[in-house]
Amino acid sequence: MRDRIEKALDKVRPMLAADGGDVELIDVTADGVVKLKLKGSCGCCPMSSMTLKNGIEKILKQEVPEIKEVVAL
């Protein structure tokens, strides 16, 4: 599942990079929680929680249906 998540994140990275940011996969728990770290300007952006839930989480769940939740560290 980790490889599929990384491939899905590769689809998101160009959008984040356009704003000077990136995302790093930290962990995937057995119960389907994906832990990510937003980096660069995305790490300190006031809209980062919206980006995480409405953007990244939505795409990851479409690509990897086993995911239950995406959280930022």
Q: ∠13-14-15 over CA atoms, to 5°?
A: 90
pLDDT at 65: 96
Q: Which residues of the chain have pLDDT under 50?
A: none
Contacts of 39 (CB under 8 A, 6+ apart): 21, 22, 23, 24
**Are the C-beta atoms of 43 and 32 separated by less than 8 Å?**
no
* pLDDT tens figures, 23-43: 999 999 999 999 999 999 988
pTM: 0.91
Domains in the chain, CATH or no CATH each: 2-72 (3.30.300.130)
